[in-house]
Amino acid sequence: MDSFCYYHGGYLAACTQDIPNTVVIPVLSDYLADYCQANDPDDVEKWESMRMHHWQERLQEFTATHNGAAERIAVYCESDSGLADAEALRQQLVSQGRNVLHDNPIELEARRNKYLMQKCLQETTCLPTVRQRLCHSLNETLEFWEQEGRVVVKPHRGVASESVRLCHSRQQVEQAWHDITSSSVFGARQQQHTTVVVQEWLQGTEYAIDVISRNGQHKVAAIWRYDKRPANGAAFCYFQTKLVDAASDENVMAVFEYVKSTLNALGVQWGLSHNEVIVRSDTRQPMLVEINCRQHNMDFAPLTMACIRYNAFQILLGAYFGGDDEWDQYPELPTLQAHGCMVHLVNYARGSLVQVHHLKDISALPSVLEFEVYEEFQTPSTWLEPTIDIRTDAGWVQLINEDPEALQHDYEQILAWMPDMFSVSEDGG
């Protein structure tokens, strides 16, 4: 469902089609179908035919040309906005020769709702969780801030830290409240935010854990450590997403056990999830940031193939199509054969683009596997705004090196180039 990215849904579909007697049926969630029809009105019928509720027609076409019924193995959704539709579609599929998974509706909603997922853990487990409140008014929001001193204000749905604010002052809380409640809910354009989620500010090291689940068993495909820093007035700008060696990082086992317990509490039994946890600097306890029942939204496969020798999509296909032997060939935790990271290019300039610097310098760094500066950040006279979240990055750099110190050196060099990477004219001329 919602396969648009060549290195996510496209990559997974291509790998699936290499499995004998297997077919991929692309469908769209209602949200993405509406978006495509609005932005490509010349192909309205094409996008309409791909809506989720036409899946039976697509399957009948396949079975008619392959002389028999097809076993429906799995539903995979690339987009965060399509998860609810994917879950509904999965419930419609009657698997042959496999256990049919019937989800708990409360757990399903909690997997997508940043407030409810914490509440679910608080009510059903003994896991440490953040202090939080779902606020229906600005006064409630301010009251919680006054108790905490510093808070994170966020919408209950969203991706990529969009509209997530660290607030120290009353003015910041008020601005966050008004920005969120004046916007639509992610994945539901017709629905306006009427509440905000307010949580205590967690200080510590943030990890992202990519997990594949097979009938309630969980294995880690990759562990990443974020380097998020304040930039351009935003508190949580991504600068680096770095692969972590399970054998050498002292927090990994505690984080893994915490994530497994969280997935179990939310009823996650099958599929790929991208889970974010902060290990508190004071108590050393893992604390949930959020669970995402989808892939890590970056081009991770080249890095993990080079550094781990396999990737999350390979394990996922083994979980869906393989037997116990194939599942057992992957360890619970990965071991690094080399060191790698994704560097997120942060733009500090505001104005009309005049020139881009350091492209040849970046290309010459020993650790560089590949990099890209997005087209809008290379087109002269394009108006640039400073990066405030991952959606407004200027591009990315993939680094790989067998020597961790050499990798760190190249990362720090790119950081030093970022502030003057884009020359602009502030008057638009």
216: alpha, beta or left? (left if phi > 0; alpha if psi -120 to 50): left
Cα dihedral 134→139→143→146 (10° resolution): 120
pLDDT in tens, 209-240: 999 999 999 999 999 999 999 999 988 899 99
Q: Tell me, which fold does domain 131-200 have in CATH?
A: Dna Ligase; domain 1 (3.30.1490)
Task: Supply the mean pLDDT for the chain.
Answer: 89
The whole-angstrom separation of Cα 226 and Cα 242 is 6
The architecture that CATH gives domain 203-337 is: 2-Layer Sandwich (3.30)
| pLDDT for residue 161 | 62
C-alpha distances (whole Å) from 183 to each of 148, 165, 180 are 25, 15, 5
pLDDT in tens, 121-157: 999 999 999 999 999 999 999 999 999 999 999 998 7
The whole-angstrom separation of Cα 219 and Cα 311 is 12
Position with higher pLDDT, 242 vs 95:
242
DSSP per position, 238-297 = EEEEEE--TTT-TTHHHHHHHHHHHHHHTT--SEEEEEEEEEETTT--EEEEEEESS--S
CA-based nearest residue to 273, from 289, 258, 292: 292
Position with higher pLDDT, 311 vs 52:
311
pLDDT in tens, 154-205: 998 776 567 788 999 999 999 999 999 988 776 566 778 889 999 999 999 9
Q: Which two tokens stand for residue 154?
A: 């966020």
| pLDDT for residue 373 | 98
The whole-angstrom separation of Cα 112 and Cα 165 is 19
pLDDT in tens, 240-285: 999 999 989 999 999 999 999 999 999 999 999 999 999 999 989 9
* Percent of the chain clearing pLDDT 70 (strictly above): 90
Give strand pairing partners of 217: 214
Residue found under tokens 């648009």: 4
CA-based nearest residue to 317, from 6, 24, 56: 24
The architecture that CATH gives domain 338-429 is: Alpha-Beta Complex (3.90)
| pLDDT for residue 231 | 95
| pLDDT for residue 22 | 82
Residue found under tokens 């799995």: 74
CA-based nearest residue to 4, from 31, 26, 34, 25: 26
pLDDT in tens, 370-402: 999 999 999 999 999 999 998 999 999 999 999
| pLDDT for residue 94 | 52
Q: Alpha helices, DSSP H only, in 322-376?
A: 324-328, 359-364
Length of the chain, in residues: 429
Residue 57 has pLDDT above 90, yes or no: no
Q: Give the chain's largest Cα–Cα span.
A: 67
Where along the chain do its domains lie?
Answer: 9-102, 131-200, 203-337, 338-429
Asked if 89 and 9 count as a contact pair (C-beta separation under 8 A), the reply is no
Local confidence band at 65 (pLDDT 50, 70, 90 cut-offs): low
Residue found under tokens 């539903």: 75
Tell me 298's DSSP state. S
